[in-house]
A = this chain, B = another copy of it.
Amino acid sequence: MQYETMPNFLKKRAFLTPERTAVYFNEQTLSFRELYENSYQAAGQLQGLGVKKNQYIGVLLKNHLDTIVILFALQLIGVKAVILNNRLSKKEIVWQINDSKAAALILENDLYEMMQDLEVPVITKDRLFAVTSESPELLEEINLNDVCTVMYTSGTTGNPKGVLHTFGNHWWSAVGSALNLGYTDSDRWLCSVPLFHISGYSILMKSVIYGMPIILHESFDADRAINDINNHHVTIMSVVGTMLYRIVDALKDSKLPNHFRCALLGGGPAPLPLLEACKAKEVPVFQSYGMTETASQIVTLAPEYSITKLGSAGKPLFPSQIKIILEDGKMASAKQAGEIIVKGPNVTKGYLNRPDVIKEKFDQGWLHTGDIGYLDEEGFLFVLDRRSDLIISGGENIYPAEIESVLLAHSDVADAGVTGINDKTWGQVPAAFIVLRNNAHVTEEELKQFCLENLAKYKVPKSFYFTEKLPRNAAKKLLRRKLSDLLQESWNHK
């Protein structure tokens, strides 16, 4: 009970360091006082539109200063933000809005046309900011156990699930990271990852908890990132592998400045050539392991180990723990591979409206990630395989099951299997294996179009292979890892 309440984060930060810069966005800057005032105003506008404490509200917004203001406005009045990936298809968005029972959707002006037929009120940014602001009922104290945000993630089977992030999850993630990376008042964090991902949202939380300025970009551009690292004194930046590749390319013969002290690498392990290229250009890479469920990284590798512990994600942050368990539930010994289970105050308490999944995936505070890995003798984590079949493409998680269920809904498709294939630009991209019904004549182009109508673009398979039979085990379970063998055969037949 004693450790559950804390002052409202943004209000407290604006009280402590009102004049310190909170955000740089294009030509605009906001101090923490201004960020608080603007968010306070927006909170009153939300209230004026009938948005109430404890409601779930969908948020479909791009990286923008206004998005930060809206996200903090929701925090100020205790409204839970269901933060939607704006690369999703309309169908996916509608599904998540319905699943979360969101009371309304706040969205970009230009998305209104597309989303106006939603069953819940749709509030564009323009409309929100035009409403007269009421005096909002501030959540003066937050309870760390209360849900702050919901982010959907898919699993190996079934529909996406809304991962619950409490204020405490975000708090402890920020604190665990600060104890690992250190924090000084000259730090500035560049956010060019999406705010709708935990990688981006967690930077916002660090900003208010540390009192640290962030530089927000609409999207990632290597030259712009390098430019701002130099000119805005960026010291830390969150990246995924593809971003790091492009930075290294764009640097050409130059180097990053000395004040840049951390490229925090998420979204899958980095290949050796990339790490070596970074080393040559003195880019300090902190590899990490984490997922939406751990409210950003839970395991991090300090750069001094990046070569000696090549391929390792590092050690768990101070407040967190990991273990490797075998199929019989016993602890694995050093170097023995098994399932990675995680525990800590940054770990989600579960999924929105899905007590069944909580029962299945949690055991006495330990979350079963489904990922496979091992610990070496010194306790460094090596991740062998992301949770069964997960495809990581440019930092986005793609779950084959989700794509397969769309393909199977097509009347010409008898069976479908999806797996990731290596891709120079994105790390991996999805590829589909299709068994057609008798007499079906659908083309690859038509299937792609069908997927586009139902799925985010990045999830649409980049290639389709037509085959007569998919590899399934005796229980008819699809053996996705064997799909790549089919690919091999398919090449051999060409």
Q: Which residues of A contact B (CB under 8 A)?
A: 2-7, 12-13, 15-16, 144-145, 166, 168, 172, 175, 178-179, 182-185, 209-211, 315, 318-319, 321, 343-345, 347, 349, 365, 379
Are the C-beta atoms of A365 and B2 separated by less than 8 Å? yes
A183-B178, A315-B16 are known contacts. Are A168 and B5 too (CB-CB below 8 A)? no
A135 and B456 alpha carbons, distance in the complex (Å): 57
* CB nearest to A175 among chain B residues: B175
Name the distance in Å between A341's Cβ and chain B's nearest Cβ. 14
Are the C-beta atoms of B15 and A172 separated by less than 8 Å? no
Are the C-beta atoms of A318 and B209 separated by less than 8 Å? yes
| Number of identical monomers bound together in the oligomeric complex | 2
For A13, the chain B residues whose CB sits under 8 A away are 318
Closest 4 CB pairs between A and B? A182-B184, A3-B345, A6-B319, A182-B183
Are the C-beta atoms of A5 and B179 separated by less than 8 Å? no
Are the C-beta atoms of B172 and A7 separated by less than 8 Å? no
For A344, the chain B residues whose CB sits under 8 A away are 6
A315 and B211 alpha carbons, distance in the complex (Å): 14
A353 and B13 alpha carbons, distance in the complex (Å): 37
Name the distance in Å between A71's Cβ and chain B's nearest Cβ. 19
For A318, the chain B residues whose CB sits under 8 A away are 6-7, 12-13, 16, 209
For A178, the chain B residues whose CB sits under 8 A away are 178-179, 183
A16 and B175 alpha carbons, distance in the complex (Å): 16
For A2, the chain B residues whose CB sits under 8 A away are 145, 166, 168, 345, 347, 349, 365
A2-B365, A15-B315 are known contacts. Are A321 and B7 too (CB-CB below 8 A)? yes
Are the C-beta atoms of A172 and B3 separated by less than 8 Å? yes
For A319, the chain B residues whose CB sits under 8 A away are 6-7
A15 and B315 alpha carbons, distance in the complex (Å): 9
The contact of A3 among B144, B210, B315, B379, by CB within 8 Å, is B144
A12 and B343 alpha carbons, distance in the complex (Å): 14
A6 and B166 alpha carbons, distance in the complex (Å): 18
A462 and B432 alpha carbons, distance in the complex (Å): 89
A16-B318, A179-B209, A315-B15 are known contacts. Are A365 and B5 too (CB-CB below 8 A)? yes
Question: Which of A144, A179, A185, A210 gathers most chain B CB within 10 Å?
Answer: A179
For A3, the chain B residues whose CB sits under 8 A away are 3-4, 144-145, 168, 172, 345
Besides the contacts A7-B318, A7-B321, A16-B318, what 4 more A-B pairs have beta carbons closer than 8 Å? Answer: A2-B347, A2-B349, A179-B183, A209-B318
For A321, the chain B residues whose CB sits under 8 A away are 7
For A209, the chain B residues whose CB sits under 8 A away are 179, 318
A168 and B6 alpha carbons, distance in the complex (Å): 14
For A175, the chain B residues whose CB sits under 8 A away are 175, 179
Name the distance in Å between A320's Cβ and chain B's nearest Cβ. 8
A145 and B145 alpha carbons, distance in the complex (Å): 16
* CB nearest to A13 among chain B residues: B318
For A182, the chain B residues whose CB sits under 8 A away are 182-185
A179 and B6 alpha carbons, distance in the complex (Å): 14
Cβ contacts A to B, 10 pairs, < 8 Å: A3-B172, A5-B365, A7-B321, A16-B315, A175-B175, A179-B183, A182-B183, A182-B184, A184-B184, A209-B318
For A6, the chain B residues whose CB sits under 8 A away are 318-319, 344-345
A2 and B144 alpha carbons, distance in the complex (Å): 10
Question: Which of A6, A211, A315 gathers most chain B CB within 10 Å?
Answer: A6
Name the distance in Å between A319's Cβ and chain B's nearest Cβ. 5
Name the distance in Å between A289's Cβ and chain B's nearest Cβ. 15
For A16, the chain B residues whose CB sits under 8 A away are 315, 318
Name the distance in Å between A206's Cβ and chain B's nearest Cβ. 11
For A347, the chain B residues whose CB sits under 8 A away are 2
For A343, the chain B residues whose CB sits under 8 A away are 5
A68 and B286 alpha carbons, distance in the complex (Å): 33
A201 and B7 alpha carbons, distance in the complex (Å): 27
Name the distance in Å between A4's Cβ and chain B's nearest Cβ. 7
A185 and B262 alpha carbons, distance in the complex (Å): 14
